[in-house]
Structure 1
Amino acid sequence: MLNVEKLNQYYGSSHTLRGVSLSLEKGQCLALLGRNGVGKTTLLKCLMGVLPVASGKVNLAGRDITRLKPHERAALGIAYVPQGREIFARLTVEENLRMGMAIKSGRQASTIRSEVYELFPVLKEMLHRRGGDLSGGQQQQLAIARALLADPKLIILDEPTEGIQPSIIKDIGNVIRLLRHRGDIAILLCEQYFDFAHALADQFMVLSRGEVVASGAQAEMNSENVKRHLAV
């Protein structure tokens, strides 16, 4: 589904991504790990087209999307839930959800699927409340639901547990697990909460100073080599 080859990116004179490669199949969850400031969010923004790349290639479902704009990538099936959620605070929950269907046309964009309310029941109860009035955890659920309404082939989640109460972290984990088991979507999970990532991932990748320093199957995540790059 997603194949990234030797991605390089610069911010001024800083070499922020150094030959990063990864592969992610439909039905898999890849955990992207690393301390703050090592390039994780930069990589995600490059995959979404928010930041340009200096060299390398990004392929989605066999198509080269390296030079496409963010809205073009969204139309091809990438959904991005950014760090900090970035919901529309002055719009209602329902209006926020409808924004997730903006890439669709006609009848497809007219109805919010009931599946969203099954995954996140609290949203149905708060349809007419403004997004800014929701708690941080509820806003995160709203951001994920909005992304899912685009029917993505790949969903990118940037720090979905940041600043979220434990009960909602558990709910979000259950949704990610359900999506993975459903098998029709690839999940790229950028996360600092090791136990959360370990419980959900099929494979992992650790970044340090913009390059991949460890990667492998979920069973290898507990190795001392991985923990050394995550310890503060």
Structure 2
Amino acid sequence: MVKKPSSDNLYLQRLGTRWYARIPVPYALRGEVGPYFRKALGTADLQEARHRRWDVLALARAEFEKRAQRPGTKKKVRSTDYDAFRARLKAAGPPTVVNALDGEEMTNPGLDLLADELERAEEAGADVGAAWDAFGDHVHGREPISEVLKDYLQRNPKVSPTTVANYNGTVSLWIAERGDRALNGTTRKAATEWLEKVAEGKSRETISGT
């Protein structure tokens, strides 16, 4: 499992001289609650604010759970397959962001919320392994193979049309077999087995081109 990144200023926001807790609201509740749960921490001292935020986080999560369990509340089921979750991570933004109020780098609260979601789903017995893979690839900046090829072709515009077609064909076959994921973690055995499967019925020249 990928460990969530930590930040000393996670869930904190400074307005003027005072500190507030700022907790992202789960997707299914944003229509009625808004994107963030905000509560004053009653202090201008950063160290004290860092201590008090955890009580507010517990309060916010209890409120989220209460609202989610109300009769008539529709739970929006979100896919945790690799591609769908990678798209959500991309929409949430980079692993770290800069707090506009104090200029300090902090963990992206949106990603922290998604990690919490996966942990709860995992505790409930759901298979979220593919989503954790997507989370790890996103946090470590590992691009899906389709993006790697796109970037390569943009940086090498003089590649011949035939070569481009071969690259696109090979990547399309790989994606169809193993999904549009980062290549990191792919074993030589898995790659070899894939090549052998692709090679069935093809000539030696075609295999070499692949």
Q: TM-score, normalised by structure 2?
A: 0.22
- Compare relative contact order (CA 8 Å, sep 6+) and give the higher one, 1 or 2: 1
Q: Determine which structure has the larger strand proportion and give its number.
A: 1
Query: Larger % of helix: which?
Result: 2
| TM-score under structure 1 length normalisation | 0.20
Q: Report the structure number with the largest CA radius of gyration.
A: 2
